[in-house]
């Protein structure tokens, strides 16, 4: 008799969606941005094209940019930030290169890797995040493929010994 946990195999995790990261040069706008944010929250997610020079200014608010499904031109793109008493969170896919140059006073600038993040290829698009933060925070999360959960690791060990 097989144990009851074998009767219902765990579903396979969904395959990550392939995003065609680069678009032709004539589709990439030269400049754009979120404008000025005062005492509010601005969020940009979904399928969009990152311009060559993207600007954002935030005062006592928050800015969230999700680039995991965004497309960009080949070469270098720039995100220019100015935040005062604000927080900025940028989610970046693992298949592009990232350079961060943020300065300021009484600020924090952190980079966090979420999941399995490899090394992008040398010819991958480059994203430069520049700017300044005064009494604010800038957090860049590099999103990779999900890691196996501790339950999955224990279950695979359990199955190995009792199969």
Domain carrying residue 37: 26-161
Confidence (pLDDT) at 150: 67
C-alpha distance from residue 72 to each of 6, 59, 69, 109, 120 (Å): 45, 27, 10, 24, 15
CB atoms near residue 142 (< 10 Å): 19
Q: Confirm whether 11 is domain-assigned.
A: no
Q: Does residue 7 sit within a domain?
A: no
Residue 78, pLDDT score? 95
114 assigned to some structural domain: yes
How many domains are contained in the chain? 1
pLDDT on residue 148: 67
SS (H, E, C) 44-65: ECCCCECCCEEEEEEECCEEEE
Is position 1 within any domain?
no
* Three-state DSSP string of 2-44: CCHHHCCCCCCCCCCCCCCCEECHHHCCCEEEEEEEECCEEEE
Residue 15 falls within a domain, yes or no?
A: no
- Among candidate residues 78, 80, 61, 54, the one with its CA nearest the CA of residue 137: 61
Per-residue pLDDT of the chain (163 residues; tens, 9 = 90+): 445 544 445 555 555 555 677 888 888 888 888 778 888 888 889 899 999 999 999 999 999 999 999 999 899 999 999 999 999 999 999 889 999 999 988 888 888 888 878 888 888 899 999 999 999 999 999 988 777 666 776 777 766 666 6
Half-sphere exposure of 32 (CA within 13 A, CB side): 11
Q: What is the reported pLDDT for 26?
A: 87
Note whether residue 8 is domain-resident.
no
Are 44 and 58 in contact by the 8 Å Cβ rule? The answer is no
CA distances (Å), origin 125, targets 10, 76, 95:
37, 6, 8
Asked whether 97 and 125 are in contact (CB, 8 A), the reply is: yes
Kindly state whether residue 19 falls inside one of the protein's structural domains: no
CA distance 36 to 50: 18
Q: What is the pLDDT of residue 20?
A: 72
Q: What is the pLDDT of residue 79?
A: 94
């Amino acid at each position: 008799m097989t144990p009851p946990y074998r009767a219902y195999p765990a579903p396979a995790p969904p395959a990550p969606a392939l995003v065609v990261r680069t678009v032709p040069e004539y589709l990439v706008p030269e400049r754009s941005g979120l404008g000025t944010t005062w005492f509010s929250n601005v969020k940009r997610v979904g399928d969009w094209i990152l311009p060559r020079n993207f600007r954002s200014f935030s005062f006592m608010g928050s800015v969230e940019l999700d680039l995991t499904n965004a497309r960009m031109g080949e070469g270098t793109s720039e995100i220019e930030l100015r935040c005062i008493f604000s927080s900025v969170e940028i989610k970046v896919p693992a298949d592009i290169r990232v350079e961060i140059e943020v300065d300021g006073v009484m600020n924090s600038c952190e980079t966090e890797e979420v999941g399995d993040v490899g090394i992008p290829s040398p010819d991958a698009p480059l994203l430069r995040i520049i700017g300044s933060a005064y009494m604010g925070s800038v957090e860049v999360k590099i999103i990779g493929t999900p890691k196996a959960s501790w339950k999955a690791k224990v279950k695979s060990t359990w199955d190995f010994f009792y199969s």
